[in-house]
Amino acid sequence: MQNLYRAAHACLMQADIDQKLVGAQQLYTAWQQGDLLRDNGSNFPVQPILIPGRPTKPELVHPKQVKQRKLSTPEGRRALLHAVAHIEFNAINLALDAVYRFRELPDAYYGDWLQVAAEEAYHFSLLRARMQDFSCAYGDLPAHNGLWEQACKTDHDVLVRMALVPRVLEARGLDVTPGMMQRLREVDDAETVEILIIILRDEIGHVRIGSRWFHYCCAQRGLEPDATFRQLLREALPAPLRGPFYTEARLQAGFSAEELEQLVDMEKNWV
């Protein structure tokens, strides 16, 4: 029987794309079948991971160096697909790191994040296949490392990780995806829209998982969730979250109506 933390770490550090995708799916299946064993981790201590398993490309650059292109052109759609694929690839690593790193949670936590890793791998596979239609492969364009940098900044505390990765970074994807889909419909790219529909559906669930475990951690520590989330936003972000917010999706993903009102208020009154 495999050790859960060792298995998650091995997949996290796997640089070969195909092996990582297969590994993420196999890990979730193994967990569902009861083939992964948790222990106290004393013989496999948690370590910082500055660079997770990833191929040599794409080249990582400053976010401002990642060019924005119009979706009305094939080049623009190629760039969009590559950017979203890069997000999904990083999301596999983020989910695996959440399993490997934080070891004092109930079993359901690990099942949740192994499911997320498997679904992110599926999303990446869909995007990679679609990129082939544009004569593009993952790694052909530069990308930035913002997602993993946030993982490093939140690797000290599961509560902070749940607040600032699923409920900030991934939730931002909920806000922007409908607009992308509309622009793609305007250029008759139904194939990419269908992929984004699948991703949006699943990402609502991923943010909901983050919300679930954020609230669990708050309850364990006797913290009020809304106030704690606001405090973490002010401590971690240089500027407020920018609207418009996709209210329906965020409500489905575990945000309260009061929380959404507070996000709007923070944007207006950020000091």
Query: How confident is the model at residue 41, as a pLDDT?
Result: 63
pTM (predicted TM-score): 0.96
* pLDDT range class, residue 271, cuts 50, 70, 90: low
- pLDDT tens figures, 241-256: 999 999 999 999 999 9
**Does pLDDT of 94 surpass 80?**
yes
Nearest to 201 by CA among 123, 127, 255: 123
What average pLDDT does the chain have? 95
Residue with tokens 């590559």: 82
- pLDDT tens figures, 25-65: 999 999 999 999 998 667 889 999 999 999 999 999 988 88
In whole angstroms, what is the distance from residue 246 CA to residue 201 CA? Answer: 13
Instruction: Copy the structure tokens of residue 269.
Output: 């009154």
Cβ neighbourhood burial of 178 (10 Å; 0-12, 13-18, 19+):
middle
- pLDDT tens figures, 166-218: 999 999 999 999 999 999 999 999 999 999 999 999 999 999 999 999 999 99
Q: How far separated are the first and last CA of the chain, in Å rounded? A: 53
Nearest to 212 by CA among 122, 146, 97, 116: 116
Domain boundaries of the chain, sorted by first residue:
2-42+66-269
Instruction: Copy the structure tokens of residue 168.
Output: 């900030």
**Does pLDDT of 153 surpass 90?**
yes
Query: Per-residue pLDDT averaged across 117-146, rounded?
Result: 96
Query: How confident is the model at residue 270, as a pLDDT?
Result: 86
The CATH class given to the 2-42+66-269 domain equals mainly alpha
- DSSP secondary structure, the chain, as one string: -EEHHHHHHHHHT---HHHHHHHHHHHHHHHHTT-EE----TTS-----SS-S--S-SPB--GGGS----TTSHHHHHHHHHHHHHHHHHHHHHHHHHHHH--SS-HHHHHHHHHHHHHHHHHHHHHHHHHHTTT--TTSS-B--HHHHHHHHTTT-HHHHHHHIIIIIIHHHHHHHHHHHHHHHHTT-HHHHHHHHHHHHHHHHHHHHHHHHHHHHHHHHT--HHHHHHHHHHHH-SSPPPS---HHHHHHTT--HHHHHHHHHHHHH--
